[in-house]
Amino acid sequence: MVFQVQKSDDITIVDVDGQLIVGNRQELKQKVLEELERGERKFLIDFANTGYIDSSGLGVLVSLSKKIREQEGELRLSGLNEDLRTLFELTKLDTLFIITDTREEALKGL
Amino acid sequence: MVFQVQKSDDITIVDVDGQLIVGNRQELKQKVLEELERGERKFLIDFANTGYIDSSGLGVLVSLSKKIREQEGELRLSGLNEDLRTLFELTKLDTLFIITDTREEALKGL
Amino acid sequence: MRSDLVLELPNDIKAIEHTVEFVVRRCEPSCEDQKRLRLNFRVALTEALSNAMLYGNHRDPAKRVRVEVTVKSCSVIACVTDEGNGFDPEVVPDPTCPMNLCKSGGRGVFLMRKLLDEVRYNDRGNSVTLVLRYGAPQNELRGASA
Amino acid sequence: MRSDLVLELPNDIKAIEHTVEFVVRRCEPSCEDQKRLRLNFRVALTEALSNAMLYGNHRDPAKRVRVEVTVKSCSVIACVTDEGNGFDPEVVPDPTCPMNLCKSGGRGVFLMRKLLDEVRYNDRGNSVTLVLRYGAPQNELRGASA
Ligand SMILES: Nc1ncnc2c1ncn2[C@@H]1O[C@H](COP(=O)(O)OP(=O)(O)O)[C@@H](O)[C@H]1O
Ligand SMILES: Nc1ncnc2c1ncn2[C@@H]1O[C@H](COP(=O)(O)OP(=O)(O)O)[C@@H](O)[C@H]1O
C-alpha cells in the first residue's frame, strides 16, 4: 500500500492505493497531520484505488476529520466503490462524512 | 499464471506469465502437445514474463523437447532473466536447450 | 474434522494484510460468493486478527495467533485464537449510537457481526469463530445486504 | 525457540505457489539478501513442498504438510514436514550426469542443495530443513553463484 499526496490549488489530495487497515493507518494519519500542521486546511482522500478498509482505518478517518474540523478545515472522501460504501453505511459513518462519487465533484465543492 | 499461445508464420510461441511450477506445469505441457498433434513443429517458449521455474517445470521442458524432437520439430527458449538462467546452468540444462536472449533472435533462427 | 489450513502467526500487525490475502486466495476456488468473500470475510478476518494481536496478545511479539480455516461446500469458517485472557463480547457498545459515532474506535466486533452470518466467541473470549455462508439456506441479516 | 510462522497446509499442489509467496513476503522485511530469497529460497521451498505432497503424502488430500519458518538476523530457516515414511536422501542420483540429463525428473533435491547453504533431512526422511544464510560467514558453495 502507498499513500500519495498531491496538491491542487489549496487542496491536499491523498490517494490510498491498496488497503487502509491496522497495519498502515498510522502512516495515513501522519501524512495528513503533517499537512495540517503546515497550514493546509482543505483535504480530499480518494479511495478509487483502495481494496478494503477495516475498522481501524475507519477510525483514523474519524479522528482526522475531527482534527481537521478543529482547525476549521474540511475533509471530503471520494471514489468509494460499492464494497467500501457498504462499510460506511453499516457503521453509519456515511452520515459523518461528505462523500462524493468522483474526485472532480469533491474538488468542485471544497 | 497464464500461458498464452500465438502464431508467427509457422512458429508457435508460448508466453509463460507468472511461475512455471508443479501446480501448473501440466497446463503448459497440454497446450504444447495439442499444437504438436495439430501438426505444428516449430516452438518457442518465451520466459520474459516468468517469475521462477521449479524442477518439475524444468522437467516439463525436457519432456516437451524430447516429444518435439521425436516429431522432427524444434523447441527454443528465450527471455530467461539472470535468475532463470542460473537454474538452467545449475542443472546443466543450458547444454540441452537452444536458449536465446530475445524472442526476436529465436524467431530468426527457427 | 481437520481444518483445511492452519496458521500460527507472529504477533505483528504488519503480517495481517498478507495473511488475509493468503487465506482468501485459498478459499477462492471453493467459494460460491466471491463478492462477500472479498469484502465481508476479508474485513472480518482482518478485525479478528488485529483484536487478537492488539488486545488478546497485548502487542507482545513473543505471543502467537492461531488461525484455523475450513472450507466447506456452503461455508467458509475461520477460527482465530490468541493467548490472552479474553473479554466479554456482550458488553461491546454499539458504535452506531449517536453518542459513539464520533469515537475513533469500537467498530471491530460490530463489523464482524454485521458482515458475517455467524460470529461465535468461546467462553473465555480469546477465540472467535467467523462463518460466511453461501448457497441456499442463508442468514437473512447477512451484512452487506443489510 | 518458537518459529516465527507455522503453517499446516492441505495436501494440494495448487496451494504451493501462494504459500511460497506468503512465506517469502513474511521473510522479506528482515532478509538482507533479497535476490537469493527471491530465487534460491523460493525455488527450494517450492521443491520441498511438492516433494512432501507428492512423495511423502502420496497426493492424499486428507494428509497435511507442516511448514515452520524462522527468520533470524543472518538466516531464514524453513522446515517442511510431511506425514509419509520418508526416504534416503543420500541415494538420490545426480541429475547433471550425462545419463540423467534427459530425464524429466530427479532435479528437486539436487536444486535445493545447490540453491541453499544447508539442506538437512531428519533420520526418517519426512522432514527437511532449508537454510538460507546471509551476512558475513557464508557457505562458499552457495548455489546461485556456483
Ligand atoms: N481478542 C480479544 N481479547 C481481548 N479483548 C478483546 C478482544 N477482541 C476485542 N476485545 C475488546 O473489545 C473491545 C472492542 O473491540 P472492537 O469492537 O474491535 O473495537 P476497537 O478495536 O476499536 O476497540 C476492545 O477495545 C477490547 O477491549
Ligand atoms: N518427502 C519425501 N518423501 C518421500 N520420498 C521423497 C521425498 N522427497 C523426495 N523423495 C524421493 O526422492 C526422489 C527424488 O526427488 P527429486 O529430486 O525432488 O526429484 P523428482 O521429484 O523429480 O523425482 C523422489 O522421486 C522421491 O522418491
* Residue C140 reports pLDDT greater than 70: no
Separation CA D128–CA D80 (nearest Å) = 5
Average pLDDT, stretch D80-108?
A: 97
Give, in degrees to the nearest 5, the angle at Cα B78 between B29 and B72.
55
Amino acid identity of B74?
Answer: E
Q: Which residue has the cell 453505511?
A: A89
For a mutational test of ligand 1's pocket, the pick from C60, C82, C109, C127, i.e. the residue with the most ligand atoms closer than 8 A to its C-beta, is C109
**Of the candidates B23, B62, B90, which has its C-beta nearest D16's C-beta?**
B23
pLDDT in tens, D36-48: 999 999 999 999 9
* Residue D142 reports pLDDT greater than 90: no
- How does strand C64-71 pair with strand C75-81? antiparallel
* Residue D146 reports pLDDT greater than 80: no
D106 lines ligand 2 (CB under 6 A): yes
* Residue D140 reports pLDDT greater than 70: no
Supply B21's cell numbers. Answer: 511450477
Q: Which residue has the cell 478545515?
A: A73
Average pLDDT, stretch C110-125?
A: 98
Contact (CB, 8 A) for C12 and C115: no
pLDDT in tens, A77-105: 999 999 999 999 999 999 999 999 999 99
Which of C34, C92, C107 is the best residue to mutate to test the A interface, defined by the most A CB atoms within 10 Å of its own CB? C107
Amino acid identity of C67?
Answer: V
What pLDDT is attached to residue A1? 61
Separation CA D70–CA C3 (nearest Å) = 23
For a mutational test of ligand 1's pocket, the pick from C80, C82, C87, i.e. the residue with the most ligand atoms closer than 8 A to its C-beta, is C87
**Of the candidates D7, D18, D64, which has its C-beta nearest C7's C-beta?**
D7
D55 lines ligand 2 (CB under 6 A): yes
Average pLDDT score over chain D: 92
What pLDDT is attached to residue C135? 79
Average pLDDT, stretch C83-101?
A: 96
Q: Which ligand is nearest to the CA of D112?
A: 2
3-state SS, residue A64: helix
For a mutational test of ligand 1's pocket, the pick from C51, C59, C97, C111, i.e. the residue with the most ligand atoms closer than 8 A to its C-beta, is C51
pTM of the model: 0.88
Q: Please report, to the nearest 10 degrees, the dihedral formed by the alpha carbons of residues A62, C17, C118, C138 taken in order.
A: 100
Window B:8-27, CB contacts with D under 8 Å: 19, 21-24
Interchain touch C–B (≥3 Cβ pairs closer than 8 Å): no
Distance (Å) from CA D87 to ligand 2 centroid:
8
Separation CA C111–CA C47 (nearest Å) = 8
Average pLDDT score over chain C: 92
Distance (Å) from CA C89 to ligand 1 centroid:
8
Q: Is B5 exposed, middle or buried (0-12, 13-18, 19+ CB in 10 A)?
A: middle
Residues of D in contact with C4 (CB under 8 A): 10
- The answer, yes or no, to whether ipTM is higher than 0.90 is no
- By C-alpha distance, the chain B residue nearest D114 is B90
Confidence of residue D141 (pLDDT cuts 50, 70, 90): very low
* Residue C145 reports pLDDT greater than 60: no
3-state SS, residue C7: strand
What pLDDT is attached to residue C114? 97
pLDDT in tens, D55-66: 999 999 999 999
Interface size between C and D, measured as CB pairs under 8 A: 41
Number of residues that make up chain A? 110
